[in-house]
């Protein structure tokens, strides 16, 4: 498994957590045991989970400030999961270049989101990168 696949699975976990309003480690554990048994990217997946769950409020605040006229509650759940994943990488995982995170997020949006999801996510993440130290 590559990081791209780990990101895809983590985005699916975030989507599931948001739908169920359950961000618990128990739900993550069940997800991992079902989908990542023999993954060589489990450490990266766990790092994404740790960073995202620890900083979810800050991630959402950054998303709200960088998405004009869009409240988190109005965003498509798939787009929100992709954005949260990418913002976690951009703000808290300095070993991942911003451009890689944005490209991966746009690819995920094109694969799982709506027709304009890629453009929407690219625009918001561009603002996040521009304002990440603000």
| 54 contacts 91 by C-beta, under 8 angstroms | no
How many separate domains does the chain show?
1
**Residue 75 has what DSSP assignment?**
S
Element (H, E) at 11: helix 3-20
> How many other β-carbons are positioned within 10 Å of the β-carbon of residue 30?
13
pLDDT of residue 37: 83
Domain residues for 49?
3-130
pLDDT of residue 81: 97
Where the chain has pLDDT below 50, the residues are none
pLDDT of residue 69: 81
> How many other β-carbons are positioned within 10 Å of the β-carbon of residue 29?
10
Residue 66: give its domain's CATH number.
1.10.940.10
């Amino acid at each position: 498994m590559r990081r791209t696949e780990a990101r895809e699975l983590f985005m699916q976990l975030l989507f599931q957590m948001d739908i169920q309003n359950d961000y618990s480690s128990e739900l993550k554990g069940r997800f991992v045991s079902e989908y990542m048994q023999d993954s060589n990217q489990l450490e990266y997946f766990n790092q994404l989970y740790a960073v995202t769950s620890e900083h979810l409020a800050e991630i959402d605040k950054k998303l709200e400030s960088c998405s004009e006229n869009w409240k988190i509650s109005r965003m498509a759940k798939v787009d929100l999961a992709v954005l949260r994943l990418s913002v976690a990488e951009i703000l808290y995982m300095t070993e991942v270049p911003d451009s890689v995170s944005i490209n991966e997020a746009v690819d995920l949006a094109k694969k799982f989101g709506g027709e304009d999801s890629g453009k929407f996510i690219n625009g918001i993440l561009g603002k996040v990168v521009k304002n990440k130290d603000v």
